[in-house]
Amino acid sequence: MNRFIPFISIGLLSVLFFQTGCDQVDAPFTQNGGGGGGGGGDVKRTILVEEFTGFKCKNCPDASKALHNLKKNTYNDQLVIVAVHAGTLAQPNIAGNYSSADYRTTEGTQLAADFLIDFVPVALINRVPDVGSSTPFYSKEIWASVIAAELEKPAEAEVELSATYNASNRNVSITVDGKFLTEGTDQEYLSVYVIEDGVVGEQDSNGVHIEHYDHKSMFRGSVNGLYGDRISTTVVPLDYTFTKNYTYTLPSVIDPAKCHIVAFIHRKDVGISTVRQADEVILLP
């Protein structure tokens, strides 16, 4: 697994996610190459924010609240938030307070390790590194300004995501349609994640133990593996389109009424990664 390389140019890093509970139905990626144009046009850029947190982190609730207020009050569906519980402050105590639940995942722990996350709260924002501090992540004080700067850039791709739920077998049928608005590389990938909103549990908030805290956008796992699916084995041309279908069995610990599905296109190369576009849908709107 490649770790962050600070001297490589902007837009970087490896992408990581671990496959769990997924029966994949492969549909062909289809190319509709050629054509003119380029750039985002009327397509709204949507960015991915991976917020690293822990339920023993006293500063995390204020950071999370500020981030979700940006989504609710300013950017709405142009901001996709995935809250990853990882590290020592996400590890339950043996007894007493903060021993009731474990929100860590194998994927989240690996993600934190590969992106050198050693404290929380911090966030990855479209996997673009903080060149000012030579880290792949950003401190909470500058999340808003980095998000605003990322959203000023033109959209590089379109992602349209849909999902339906079968209560009889807890299967989720997922369809992702994508289109490249700029030329890509031969290392473009599609990743699909599962998050759960409104998970009630313990949390330290500014040194105060909260027994019934509302955890938002909690990362629960990936649908299509650690890195997702490679979109093309050759250079992706402008106007390249694809469709991908998945069937995912929702684990019993996840409430389907609180479940969201997230999908994004990213470049994954040696030491380099760029999130091109993301989308999010509520499973039971």
What percentage of the chain exceeds 90 in pLDDT? 76
Note the pTM of the prediction, 2 decimals.
Answer: 0.86
- pLDDT of 168 > 50? The answer is yes
The answer to whether 264 touches 277, Cβ cutoff 8 Å, is yes
At 158 the pLDDT is 98
Put the strands of the sheet holding 157-166 in their side by side order.
22-23, 241-249, 171-180, 157-166
What percentage of the chain exceeds 70 in pLDDT? 85
Q: How far apart are CA 189 and CA 186, in angstroms?
A: 9
Average pLDDT score, the chain: 87
pLDDT band, residue 227 (cuts 50/70/90) = confident
At 22 the pLDDT is 39
Q: Which domains does the chain possess?
A: 22-282 (2.60.40.10)
- pLDDT of 99 > 60? The answer is yes
The answer to whether 202 touches 90, Cβ cutoff 8 Å, is no
Q: Residue 183 contacts by C-beta under 8 Å, 6 or more apart in sequence?
A: 38, 235, 236, 237, 238
* 103-135 residue pLDDT tens: 999 999 988 998 899 999 999 999 998 888 888
At 114 the pLDDT is 84
